């Protein structure tokens, strides 16, 4: 079992603040890195898939970067809004299996 770690476990920010969180993974088993957004009472939804070292992806106010050599990815949210409140999951894709982190729970306070 591969260990995918996310930090922090939870985060409370004020509306308008920018924030970021980290996903760490063993770089030796890397095929792709996925980010999912999981709102309460819903199912996880795919945000980004990154495959190359140095990849940067952006969707609106949310962006992600990838460093496969050192085994980490950052997710950034610029100008957080209450609707950004969710758990953000990262998953290491080894090509055969997905290994999920336990997520970062983000609460944006209006």
Partner 1 sequence: DSGVTQTPKHLITATGQRVTLRCSPRSGDLSVYWYQQSLDQGLQFLIQYYNGEERAKGNILERFSAQQFPDLHSELNLSSLELGDSALYFCASSPWGSGANVLTFGAGSRLTVL
Residue 49 CA to residue 86 CA, distance in Å, equals 18
Among 11, 37, 62, 103, binds partner 1 (CB under 8 A): 103
Using CB under 8 A, count the residues that bind partner 1: 24
SS3 category, 40: coil
100 sits near partner 1 (criterion: CB under 8 A)? yes
Footprint on residues 50-69 left by partner 1 (CB under 8 A): 51
Contact 36, 87 (CB under 8 A): no
Contacts of 30 (CB under 8 A, 6+ apart): 68, 71, 92, 94
Quote the least distance from Cβ 17 to partner 1, whole Å: 26
93 sits near partner 1 (criterion: CB under 8 A)? yes
95 sits near partner 1 (criterion: CB under 8 A)? yes
Q: Tell me the window of 11-19, 53-61, 62-70, 90-98 that interacts with partner 1 (CB under 8 A).
A: 90-98
């Amino acid at each position: 079992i591969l260990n995918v770690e996310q930090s922090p476990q939870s985060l409370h920010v004020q509306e308008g603040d920018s924030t970021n969180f980290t996903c760490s993974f063993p770089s030796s088993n890397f095929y792709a890195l996925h980010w999912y957004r999981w709102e309460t009472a819903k199912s996880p939804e795919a945000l980004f898939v990154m495959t190359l070292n140095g990849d940067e992806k952006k969707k609106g106010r949310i962006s992600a970067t990838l460093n496969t050599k050192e085994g980490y990815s950052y997710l950034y949210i610029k100008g957080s809004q209450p609707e950004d409140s969710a758990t953000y999951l990262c998953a290491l894709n080894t090509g055969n299996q997905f290994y999920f982190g336990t997520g970062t729970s983000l609460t944006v306070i209006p």
